[in-house]
A and B are shown apart, each in its own frame.
Chain A
Amino acid sequence: MRDALLVAIGAVPGAWLRFRLVNHFEPLVPRKHWATFGVNITACFALGLIAALAGRCGPDQQIGLLLATGFLGSLSTFSTFAAELLQSWLSGQRREALWLMGGSVGAGLAAVAAGMVIGG
């Protein structure tokens, strides 16, 4: 019960932040999917950092549930990424879709690795 509460307490601000950030950058970023990209990559970096710190300081299950499972898991999203990828592909922006796909995976892995290096 307490664990569920920790996940939920982390999840709500994560979802709110993603919602407001993506909406905020919508007019500035020409295509909305690059705002989702930014949120996802930021979450990847933070998760890599937390994973490395947990490995070094000994895993704290409660901090993990609150920050990693709750907050960062909810801040980042796969479904919007997949839907926006599909949308840009179907609307004929094939090059944009390929950039988004390769860029997200490449930058996501690099961000996780950078977080792990800094945290480790």
Chain B
Amino acid sequence: MADQLEARRLSFELRELFLVGLGAVPGALLRWQSGVQLGPHLGGSAGADLLVNLVGSFILGFLAGPIPQRTSLVLLLGIGFCGCLTTFSSWMLDVAKLIHAGKPVWGLLLIAASLVLGLLCAAGGLALSRTLFRSQLD
């Protein structure tokens, strides 16, 4: 009985890790490729990082709404995909590089733009999700 419970707990945890890992790979690959392909058009890594961060914030905002299959989708698309598509550390490194290069105003702009637009994207995703799945709220 205890073994059975233990086995069930383990398979549950493996399923969680599988879903997170399955979302993580395409998320990280997209972030990497957006830096390689779009970076040169967006003013370097800072622009590419901002773009993926905003896209990820919108999707995660959407997932925070009353969506169906919530637990699995949050693991796969939220923690896995969006968590890896977006990055906090590269954003901070981008800001530090701008300050280091003698462009502190650009650094401050990058901080402000990321915060304001990131919050707006998350709020927009949440609003869309609430509109689409409103019937499930009732």
Task: Please report A residues at the B interface, Cβ cutoff 8 Å.
Answer: 3-4, 7-8, 10-12, 14-16, 18-19, 40, 43-44, 46-48, 51, 65, 68-70, 72-83, 85-87, 89, 101, 104-105, 108-109, 111-113, 116
Task: Specify which of B16, B21, B25, B84 lies most central, judged by the most chain A CB atoms within 10 Å of its CB.
Answer: B84
Q: Which of B24-55 contact A (CB under 8 A)?
A: 24-25, 27-29, 31-32, 35, 53
- The answer to whether A69 and B95 touch across the interface, beta carbons within 8 angstroms, is no
A64 to B113, CA, bound (A): 27
Known: A15-B21, A78-B53, A85-B122. 7 other contacts (CB 8 A): A7-B29, A15-B23, A16-B21, A76-B88, A80-B83, A80-B86, A108-B92
Task: Specify which of B20, B27, B83, B122 lies most central, judged by the most chain A CB atoms within 10 Å of its CB.
Answer: B83
- The answer to whether B90 and A83 touch across the interface, beta carbons within 8 angstroms, is no
Q: How many residues of B contact A (CB 8 A)?
A: 47
Q: Choose from B16, B35, B122 the contact partner of A82 (Cβ within 8 Å).
A: B122
CB of B86, distance to nearest CB on chain A (Å) = 4
Majority SS at the chain A contact face: helix
Task: Specify which of B82, B93, B114 lies most central, judged by the most chain A CB atoms within 10 Å of its CB.
Answer: B93
| CB-based nearest A residue for B53 | A78
A48 to B114, CA, bound (A): 20
User: Which residues of B have CB within 8 Å of A44?
Assistant: 88-89, 92-93
Task: Render B58-88 as a binary contact track against A, CB cut-off 8 A, 1 for contact.
Answer: 0111001000000000010011101111111
- The answer to whether A111 and B115 touch across the interface, beta carbons within 8 angstroms, is no
- The answer to whether A77 and B83 touch across the interface, beta carbons within 8 angstroms, is yes
- The answer to whether B64 and A78 touch across the interface, beta carbons within 8 angstroms, is no
User: Which residues of A have CB within 8 Å of B91?
Assistant: 78, 108
- The answer to whether A79 and B56 touch across the interface, beta carbons within 8 angstroms, is yes
Known: A18-B83, A87-B64. A78 touches B96 (CB 8 A): no
A74 to B21, CA, bound (A): 11
User: Which residues of B have CB within 8 Å of A11?
Assistant: 24-25, 27-29, 84
User: Which residues of B have CB within 8 Å of A68?
Assistant: 90
- The answer to whether B92 and A80 touch across the interface, beta carbons within 8 angstroms, is no
A81 to B95, CA, bound (A): 17
A40 to B25, CA, bound (A): 19
A10 to B122, CA, bound (A): 27
Task: Specify which of A7, A8, A16, A83 lies most central, judged by the most chain B CB atoms within 10 Å of its CB.
Answer: A83
- The answer to whether A85 and B119 touch across the interface, beta carbons within 8 angstroms, is yes
